[in-house]
Amino acid sequence: MDMNSFFNDLQGKINQAIESSPAKDIEKNVKSMMSQGFSKLDLVTREEFDIQSQVLAKTRAKLDALEQRVTEMEERLAAKPQV
């Protein structure tokens, strides 16, 4: 779904909710429709984003350490006299 059609659809649903609901239900209906609309966008919560950022940072640190070990091993192997 492209962004224009998403927002047009969301706007239509909000307008429909406003027209068909008493004032006290409007906020509840709009929140519900926005939640449904945002679920179509495959968004993540800030908490999920932060967790994945931490996982990525740890993975990157491990990769850097492994690359360093491989480099050291290659240097040691190259320094050994060939038989």
CA atoms of 73 and 79, how far apart (whole Å): 10
Q: What pTM did the predictor assign?
A: 0.51
Provide the 10 A C-beta neighbour count for residue 39.
9
User: Could you read off the pLDDT of 42-76 as tens digits, one per residue?
Assistant: 788 899 999 999 999 999 999 999 999 999 999 99
**What is the 8-class DSSP label of residue 21?**
S
pLDDT of residue 1: 56
* Extents of the domains making up the chain: 1-43, 44-83
pLDDT tier, 24 (very low <50, low <70, confident <90, very high otherwise): low
CA atoms of 82 and 47, how far apart (whole Å): 54
